[in-house]
Amino acid sequence: MMVGLVIVSHSQKLAEGVVELAKQMTLGENVPIIPAGGLENGEIGTSFDKIMDAINKVYSEDGVLVLMDLGSAVMTTQTCLEFLPPEIQSKVLLCNAPLVEGSIAAASAAAQGFSIEKVKEIAEKVNTSKVQQDFPEETIKYSENAIAIDVKLINPTGLHARPASLFVQVASKFKSEIKVQNITAKKAPADAKSIMDMAVNGTGEKGDVIRIIAEGEDAEEALKELKELVESGFGELEKGENVNLERNEILTEEHSNKLVKNDIRETTMKGSFRGTPIYPGYVVAPVWVYERRPSKILEKKKEKFITFEELLEAIKEVSDETRIIKEKLEKESNSKVAAIFDFHEMILNDQKIKDDVKNLVENGMSADKAFAKVVDSWIDKLEKQSFDLMKERTKDLEDIKNRVLTALFKEGKKIISPNVKSILLIDELLPSETALLDKENIIGIATAYGGTTSHAAIIARMLGIPSIVGLGPKILKIPNGTIVALNSVDGVLLVNPNVKIKDEFEKKDKLLKLKEKELINKAEEPSKTKDGYRIEVFANVGKVEEVEEIHKYGAEGIGLLRTEFLYVGKKEAPTEEEQYNNYLSVSQTMGKKPVVIRTLDIGGDKPLEYVSLDKEANPFLGVRAIRLYKKYPELFKTQVKAILRANQGNIKLMLPMIASIDEVRWAKEIINECKSELSSKGIKFNQKIEVGIMIEIPSAAIMSEILAKEVDFFSIGTNDLTQYTLAVDRGNKNLKYLFDSLEPSILRLVKLTVDNAHKYGRLVSVCGEVASEKEAIPILVGLGVDELSMNPRMIPYAKGLIRTLEYSQLQKLALKVLELENASQVREFISKNCNL
């Protein structure tokens, strides 16, 4: 337990805002903080009932500290205390600290486990001075017994908010007096144990040098630990920046020879970088490092006021240019790639964005600043979502913003085009940049950042350019013209490869192209192991438009049709008729091949304009998927009716986010209700439809024997199952080293699910990203998984790999894998025993 806090204000919004700000200083500690602002009807004032309720909610044996704004807030709170039982009243203290600063200081102190008296003391001692003055380091006098070190801030956010709070918590462990001075910014020294003093005087930007001064019996130990904290980047470093570098560690040339033989293991030597492959290939060429020139837009912004009409002209110019890019892509590749820029056109023509900008301009803001402000607000909203695909769209918005401002200030386009055939090294490609790449001379792409689902990655994949993303920022330090070998099969970039590696890459590239052609030619053939065990390989599909092309990759059906595309980005929910037409189109296109339609998987992290959801601290553990259906049953019923009507005998219905048997039974009741309603109206539909569930919550895997009696099939979503089992947000860059679906704990849950399903004759598929990983396929087959569902382009490779394996051997290997300690051991064991 820890001290609870109650924030009393005349304004409900102010109280809620202070709570939100204070929670930023708790570093994940579950400090109970409750707002008690305004009257019951939301008007300005203070409410006896609200304050009393808040105190009761946060009360514990550790006590409650109440912070108030002014006047009646104090009097009403004092009245509340008089009505509390004596044993509780003695543990509730009122605080004289200023509301905002005091709440922040109190939250930080409570998170450190201090007593209520200490929390109150820290809150009331806060320094509320806000105006900074230069404080040259020469004016600082240190005690003869004090020791100091200078450290450079290397993390992206510098010394602000979360890092500052972490710094205070670490400093508070020591008895010594500790101060911090930002030497670069010439600030006054700050008390390292005071969150408010740090917030006012101790802040710093990335690249600033701070001086840490300590005096006392454990001063040396304190400096050492605080130095390590700063040099570790407070846990905020991007992939590849940490001292340990994890998978992006630079390797030696000696080890590079092993890498060529696919011996990709964790290492700490020099010579290569490791990232995520996007499109396979083996390329050796000089690098061309592309650095975006500092824009002069900010300077030009100061020169004159930009009107709303001028902005509209720039938007039109970019919109016209977008259509040209789209037409270019349609000629060079296919309409599916070009359709990416339909999204760009929609943003450029979005009336809400234009209206918001116009309102800001009418209130005196220059149109360029207004446009940047509005787009940035949408970028911020997307970045806060836990849905990876939506996060990736931030790059599209940044691209659009940059292009509009570039057009507005006539800066001219920055075309990425080297003079010779090169491998492009860049921080992260934007979609329009990727679409306009010089395909003649850019024969490979290596990026420091970026994800596999970004539009830039999709375009690179469709254009067939060997690419790797997420290699880490150190690649940008490779000198222009340096020869590198890009292995985008395994995701490795080798620096200054020797002659042997160059020859090896040339041979491997020829073999790869031959293998690709052979696999595509055999894509329609069934996938059987050498000893005749049959595994079906399906496609994951996110849009109706993608269905037509999955046939050429040999998809034996659709194992996962995501339906969110019908709901996201619209002002009204899709009608039954709209959904019916989409599902019918898919069903007819697939003929007799099965189609598994997953019902709406959406929640607080993917907001819908027409669905009112409370703001949740953790949307992934909140009201989403089937939990949302219970709140909005008509939304669910409309979709179910459309699916029932569209079923041509090949559609199956799948329920996401199942945690218990009660949820399944409730959903089946609704499905039966939908059947009855359709029948009563004389609407034709197929009465027979299989109903399955996603196994993506550990409880579902553990209860799979019970669930197997209630449903027709299981589909294991390994991404979420991994996230929930390991308690790791898969979008958290600092925890990427923990997120691996080949952890033995995950594989044990897969085996448990398969064994329980097969007891009752239920089929099991795996539709997570791991289904297409070469080290995972042998294990999943060996564990008895019946179907694999994946990105359509990976199907030929998966089928080809399955044909080289023996099921009898895989069964033995899979059991041995379950006894290993971690994912690294699993990957190494499978690679060695399956010759991967």
Mind telling me the catalytic residues?
A: 455, 767
User: Residues near 625 by Cβ (< 8 Å), separated by ≥ 6?
Assistant: 599, 600, 601, 602, 603, 655, 656, 657
Contacts of 228 (CB under 8 A, 6+ apart): none
Return the biggest CA–CA distance within the chain.
93
Angstrom distances, CA of residue 72 to CA of 10, 48, 53, 753:
8, 10, 17, 60
Indicate left, alpha or beta for 174 from its phi (over 0: left) and psi (-120 to 50: alpha): beta
Alpha-carbon gap, residue 179 to 388, rounded angstroms: 40
Under a CB-based contact definition with an 8 Å cutoff, are residues 804 and 530 in contact?
yes
Pairwise CA distance, residues 720 & 340, whole Å? 26
- In 728-770, which ranges are continuous DSSP H helix? 744-759
Under 8 Å CB-to-CB from 20, ≥6 apart: which residues? none
As a whole number of angstroms, the distance between CA 71 and CA 74 comes to 6
Structure tokens at 262: 């696919």
Half-sphere exposure of 223 (CA within 13 A, CB side): 17
Asked if 47 and 38 count as a contact pair (C-beta separation under 8 A), the reply is yes
Kindly list the distances between the CA atom of residue 814 and the CA atoms of 479, 755, 782, in Å, as whole numbers in the listed order.
45, 13, 5
Closest C-alpha to 281, from 553, 446, 459, 512:
512
Q: Give every CB contact of residue 727 below 8 A, 6+ residues apart in sequence.
A: none
Q: Which residues pair with 595 in a beta bridge?
A: 558, 651
Contact present, 538 and 789 (Cβ < 8 Å): yes
Cα distances (angstroms) measured from residue 138 to each of 185, 187, 567: 13, 12, 62
CA atoms within 13 A on the CB side of 8: 31
What kind and span of H or E run contains 16?
helix 12-23
- CB neighbour list of residue 556: distance below 8 Å, 6 or more residues apart: 526, 536, 537, 538, 593
Neighbours of 578 (CB within 10 A): 14
Nearest to 182 by CA among 153, 161, 157: 153
Residue appearing with tokens 């919109």: 319
CA distance 322 to 311: 16
Tokens 């010579």: give the residue.
Answer: 271
**Alpha helices, DSSP H only, in 575-717?**
576-590, 626-631, 633-646, 661-680, 698-702, 704-708
DSSP-derived letter for residue 211 is E
Asked if 249 contacts 209 with a C-beta cutoff of 8 angstroms, the reply is no
| Dihedral sign for Cα atoms in the order 670, 673, 679, 680 | negative
789 with 771: CB under 8 angstroms? yes
Closest CA to 528 of 797, 803, 798, 800: 803
Which tokens in the block code for residue 471? 């290699």
Q: Are 733 and 238 in contact (CB under 8 A)?
A: yes
Phi, psi of 715 (to 5 degrees): -130, 120
- Collapsing DSSP to helix, strand or coil, 416 comes out as coil
